[in-house]
Structure 1
């Protein structure tokens, strides 16, 4: 963080160094100690001053507030983590281990010494005479409580109304009417029937409809001997991470800027050097040190452009409307883009050009060419401002410089490096004809699919059984409440397996177009996964005395199940068997029997996977 380093690095270099050094040096201490607020503020101040180039004798303009810089990149920041929040997230990791990793020696010692034989979340709380490490970890109790929830298995440990399991707060706090005394102490297991269906008559009139729908999509395994357990609800896979804990700490202060999330992501993924990306972040945030901004901050006498007397020097003026910029863009902006390019306001101008899919005549992507040109136009302006207009490049020299630099970066970016990981290269795709294929004789095919209107949102599942001739045997639709698309797919597989077993088929091929659902079933899933109960139920049913294969198919080969899953949303909650195919499905079944296919680009398997 020495001042001489700040002078010799670009803004992007200082930003990278601050994130990699200042954020990493205190990590070891922050895992076991809660740093004093003054220390956290001092570390943050050192980072801020270094990023903006301050030294002991002179402070520089801080163009962007610290609050904005500490936002994630998709929300308009640069992803710097404030020291206090990072400290709490790291401490929470050890707090979570105290709760979950009961076999570890250090957790056994700490729990025995300071836990006072308490259970659950009550373990992590301050104890009189405790060590500084325990007191520091205890400071994260509220964070851990906010991020965890009960993972429902047999439902015997979780209180339906008082515990957190289907929402971020207990259901008691969401009730729209008074809860009867005889229901207050009910466990989740007591609110379902022996077949696992919910006793909706006990709670649907007491809760908002959207909460009821979430409850209906939750499986309770009445046959399981596995008790409910706490999982980390702040992460999609149920596993604790410091990143998810940090996001939980800061989510209340994160707001989308005027630019949408996609635009910010595009800036940080530009195929250009980091200095150009950092510049585009500043420019699109309207935070460049133009004369207008310098005059506003009282460090410049006039807000006008040095080339255009009387014209305010804004970001848009420098990068588009000033004579050097106007000369360049008039010669290189595609003709179909020029009208909007030269007439749009600053916000739309950046968004349109960064999201544009056009390429230049030389094959360069327009967003990268646009960003490189904007950066060099700004550099030429700063040269004129600090060294005089005579030191800046002429319009023709500037044009040649921009084109040469853009081509150099483009060629180096698209050319594969000998050290590049082959897995990171673009996958090869080929055009293929995809359709439904009947099973071999003696087997039955179960096609299933799940649909979610909102992901998560109102969800349904559907499936059908067919023989080797393509003949419809039986089908089902199921309204599963409110769920994600993956959970809806798992419900479809679960109900389809039940239907096939009930109908007496013992050689079954299950086809699903969800790779995620298939991977969750086939791979050894963690018991803290939010879908652990339905996954273990499916695996238990598959392991019965029959032969079952689960394979992935493309949507073009799963059209019938896809139609049923969407059709299921018009049905009331529950599973409904279909003896005959619905009228709207007949034409799809006929096409499948005739071997009709549709074109689709699919990934070509690599030679190593053949």
Structure 2
């Protein structure tokens, strides 16, 4: 799943280091460690409702008890039968199995066992869990930055398990998002307070003017799509074999249909499969399964532009018709004759396998071509909200400056207030009046001008004295708008200066609220300002510039290979036009050059692809030159990590 080794080791230590002790007559016995591992023993057994099969089930369970040393807990076991079973037969089964009877199982392993027409009613327990969690927190003791942490670390994880199996109704996702939004802005899930930004803005990335909250609908689709990918890439698993036997026994997953009265799990998988039909791309093997005009097989998803009349005339419909299967190369003359020059360029950049591999669907949003929920979520967000995002307001800052903004050492509450300043989301009096509130428009600090975000933090005399007396020594009176100030300051400031600015913004807002709600004293002494900024920024006030660190010296020395092994160094250079050149050199443990070679190709889609092609070419030459024990070395870390 991609967890770092340190995390895996931590979890395994929790699993393997546990010890048990049994109480016997009120006294704890010597402890012992379990050695059978973890297991989930809650099972559902299906059988016909007759005594013969009930006795067979009992025999199987008895055999399991003798073999495993475990005992079935009959007090926690239950029996449920169809409505068509007569009452006397039901009583006989209950007496034989010696378990309690229930009308039906509501949940199994936390998931509903029966899903009817009303999906909202069935999955309403997910919303109830979120509501209880949000309602249990004390909103008065949490800052908005603290609420953000709780939402991301706790609340967003609650529906994940159910969302990984079923598509929840849109209305249910909207209700959860509404509760989360109310909690974030007001602290109370049942109270409708002013929400200063739409949920869509909050779900944007932090590097795109948002806060990175999850869009639950998009996340739900991305999670369920993982099941589709498992079935496609692991057809030998029990899950894949069951679905294939029921829904596409005579075909493949790509052409699977909904079927007659399908399970909701299968319906959910099919509803998420559009991700791969629109975002997946074919990795070319022999090209026999790929339709030239209707399948996604060109890099970056570019369309195929060519003459359909010529394709019909030459009998070209599959990608395999464009490949010379003897030389394992493209039929350049045919490709150049049928397709537009731009399409020809993209086709020729696709490397062909040297062996007769089959065509496979890959996920181009990841480096290794395997689907993951994170990349799927980004893709779904881009597709579902693309039109809406394009019509919405542009981010206040470009992505590189937002990255700089969030990586500072300032406290989270300072960053949150600074984010609202940059995004113009603070409840200043000018904004409140625009929302229909009858408030005094004048600045409560200076009482000279209308209180806007720009006035409060830049043009107000108190703010100007504040910034000039701060460790930043800013002269902000030269700016005429908030946009001008942000554009100049953010590009010139280093991380420490930006952290101090975020702390200063928080201090100004804190001072303003003290004036409004507590009749505080202004202006704040400069010494207090400096002390407050230093504490909130978590940075020394005496040094507001970062001293550049010297770049580490790169060791260009060549390491000897072990005795009896040859070292082959290879590299690739890719031009902006797509042309690529390879080079290699082979040396023994004494450093003596035994062979060298170079190669030139016309097309490569990317630098990493050029490095991969150079690696393949190097292995081919090593075999041809008779080197059998070879250590390959490259300077491309990305290739090494694949």
Question: Is the structural similarity TM-score above 0.5?
Answer: yes
Question: Within 5 A, what are the aligned runs for 1:415-454?
Answer: 430-431=552-553, 434=556, 448-452=570-574
- Matched ranges for 1:392-403 at <5 A: 394-396=524-526, 398-403=528-533
Residues 350-365 of structure 1 mapped to structure 2, 5 A cutoff: 350-356=486-492, 358=494, 365=496
Match for residue 467 of structure 2? Answer: 329
**SS in structure 2 at match of 1:367:** helix
The answer as to 2:502 corresponding to 1:371 is: yes
- Matched residues in 1 for 2:322 and 2:592: separation? 43
Q: CA separation of 1:193/1:91 partners in 2, compared to 1, >3 Å: closer, same or farther?
A: closer
Deviates more, 1:43-52 or 1:130-139: 130-139
What is the deviation of 1:46?
0.7
Q: Mapping of 1:220-231 within 5 angstroms?
A: 220-222=352-354, 224-231=355-362
Report if the CA contact (8 A) 2:445-2:515 is conserved: no
Q: Is the 8 A contact 1:210 1:482 kept in 2?
A: no
Residue in 2 that maps onto 1:218 = 350
Following TM superposition, by how much is the alpha carbon of 1:101 offset from its aligned partner in structure 2, in angstroms? Answer: 2.1
What are the equivalent positions in structure 2 for 1:82-93 lying under 5 Å apart? 82-93=215-226
Equivalent residues of 1:175, 1:206 under 8 A apart? yes
- How many Å separate the matches in 1 of 2:634 and 2:183? 54
Point out the structure with max Rg over C-alpha: 2
1:118: Cα distance to partner? 2.1
For 1:506 and 1:87, locate their aligned partners in 2 and report how far apart those are by CA, in whole Å.
50
Structure-2 change in CA distance of 1:258 and 1:101 (3 Å): same
Determine which of 460, 469, 472 is the counterpart of 2:580. Answer: 460
Q: 1:483 is paired with a residue of what secondary structure? A: coil
Corresponding residue number in structure 1 for 2:209? 76
Question: Which of 291, 297, 312 matches 2:450?
Answer: 312
2:482 aligned with 1:343: no
Taking a change above 3 Å as real, the CA distance of residues 175 and 353 of structure 1, as seen in their structure-2 partners, is same
* Equivalences, count: 494
Q: Equivalent residues in 2 for 1:496-535 (5 A)?
A: 496-498=618-620, 511-520=633-642
What are the equivalent positions in structure 2 for 1:88-237 lying under 5 Å apart?
A: 88-123=221-256, 125-167=257-299, 172=304, 174-175=305-306, 178-181=309-312, 182-188=314-320, 190-192=322-324, 194-222=326-354, 224-237=355-368
1:410 and 2:539 correspond: yes
**Preserved contact between residue 149 and residue 232 of structure 1 (Cα < 8 Å):** yes
- In the alignment, which residue of structure 2 is the partner of 1:561? none
- Maintained 8 Å contact 2:511/2:520: no
Which SS does the other structure have where 1:52 is aligned? helix
SS in 1 for 2:148: helix
2:379 aligns with 248
Normalised to the residue count of structure 1, the TM-score between the two structures is 0.71
Q: Corresponding residue for 2:610?
A: 488
2:441 maps to 1:303: yes
> Alpha-carbon deviation of 1:444?
8.7
Cα 1:243–1:441 shift into 2, 3 Å: closer
C-alpha distance 32-505 of structure 1, shift in aligned 2 (>3 A): closer
Q: SS in structure 1 opposite 2:581?
A: strand
Give the superposition deviation at 1:333.
5.5
CA distance in 1: counterparts of 2:201 and 2:193, whole angstroms: 18
For 2:560 and 2:154, how far apart are their aligned partners in 1?
A: 59
Shift of 1:405: 1.3
Give the Cα separation in 1 of the matches to 2:641 and 2:475. Answer: 50
With CA pairs under 8 Å and 6+ residues apart, which has the higher RCO, 1 or 2?
Answer: 1
The aligned counterpart of 1:582 is none
Give the C-alpha shift of residue 139 in structure 1: 1.3
Indicate if the aligned counterparts of 2:446 and 2:462 stay in contact, CA closer than 8 A. Answer: no
Q: 2: CA distance between counterparts of 1:166 and 1:112?
A: 33
2:5 aligns with none
How far did residue 447 of structure 1 move? 5.3
- CA 1:191–1:297: 2 relative to 1, 3 Å: same
Deviation of the 1:56 alpha carbon = 7.6
Using the TM superposition, give the Cα deviation of residue 62 of structure 1 relative to its aligned residue in structure 2, in angstroms.
Answer: 1.0
Question: Cα deviations across residues 549-606 of structure 1 (Å, max 9, x unaligned)?
Answer: xxxxxxxxxxxxxxxxxxxxxxxxxxxxxxxxxxxxxxxxxxxxxxxxxxxxxxxxxx
> Could you say which residue in structure 1 is the equivalent of 2:398?
260
Q: Contact (CA 8 Å) 2:281, 2:301: kept in 1 or not?
A: no
| C-alpha spacing 1:507/1:44, structure 2 compared with 1 (3 Å) | closer
Contact 2:288/2:318 (8 A) holds in 1: no
Alpha-carbon distance change, 436 to 342 in structure 1, aligned in 2, over 3 angstroms? farther
Pick aligned residue for 2:518 from 375, 387, 394: 387
* Corresponding residue SS for 2:582: strand
Q: Deviations over 1:502-534 (max 9, x none)?
A: 6777887755321222444xxxxxxxxxxxxxx
Please give the TM-score of this superposition, normalised by the length of structure 2.
Answer: 0.68
**Residue number in structure 2 paired with 1:282:** 420
C-alpha separation between the residues in 1 aligned to 2:343 and 2:167?
A: 37
Change (3 A) 1:110 1:82: same
Aligned partners of 1:4 and 1:77: how far apart in 2? 24
Segments of structure 2 that go 5 or more residues without pairing to the other structure are 1-133, 541-548
Aligned-partner Cα distance in 1 for 2:253–2:235: 12
1:244: Cα distance to partner?
Answer: 1.5
* Counterpart in the other structure of 1:547: none
Deviations 1:31-82 (A, max 9, x none): 2222222212111111111111164885322111111111122222111122
Query: 1: distance between equivalents of 2:632 and 2:189?
Result: 69
| SS at structure 1 position matched to 2:232 | helix
Asked whether 1:53 is paired with 2:189, we answer no
Contact 2:289/2:318 (8 A) holds in 1:
no
Call closer, same or farther: CA 1:171–1:298 in 2, change over 3 Å.
closer
Matches within 5 A, 1:506-585: 511-520=633-642
Give the CA deviation at 1:171: 5.3
Residues 1:34 and 2:172 are matched in the alignment? no
Shift of 1:393: 6.2
- Asked if the contact 2:292–2:319 (Cα under 8 Å) also holds between the matched residues in 1, the reply is yes
1:470 deviation in Å?
9.2
Query: Does the aligned pair in 2 maintain the 1:459–1:485 contact within 8 Å?
Result: no
User: Relative to 1, partners in 2 of residues 1:482 and 1:279: Cα closer, same or farther, differing over 3 Å?
Assistant: farther
